[in-house]
Amino acid sequence: MDAVFHVEHQVFNYRVAGVLIKDEHVLIHRSKIETHWSLPGGRVKLGEDARTSLKREMLEELALDVEVVSHLCTIENFFTYKGKKIHEVGLYFK
């Protein structure tokens, strides 16, 4: 179960993302139906630590077995998406 909590018209999301650098380029992605770009990653599963979540997400999405080197920052975001208010906490790793 993902660490996402829905309360009426609000959602809390706990996310991890990786800053993957190769040949001085940073990998970003965008869904075909979206207009915004983001770093690869995903939602943390309940009971799963952030580093394990990021390794799992990178393997699922990119078929890459990555080494999570270091925590870079934690970002708290507030935004509206598809009519719902989102409160997101994201941990970003190299």
Query: 45: buried, middle or exposed (CB in 10 Å: 19+, 13-18, 0-12)?
Result: middle
Domains present along the chain, CATH in parentheses: 4-93 (3.90.79.10)
Confidence check: pLDDT of 59 > 80: yes
The number of angstroms, rounded, from the C-alpha of 53 to the middle of its chain's C-alpha atoms is 9
pLDDT bracket for residue 53 (50, 70, 90): very high
Task: Tell me the per-residue pLDDT of 9-51, one tens digit each, with 9 for 90 and over.
Answer: 788 999 999 999 999 999 999 989 988 899 999 999 999 999 9
pLDDT on residue 26 = 96
pTM: 0.85
In SS3 terms, the chain reads as: CECEEEECCEEEEEEEEECCEECCEECCECCCCCCCCECCEEECECCCCHHHHHHHHHHHHHCCCCCCCCEEEEEEEEEEECCEEEEEEEEEEC
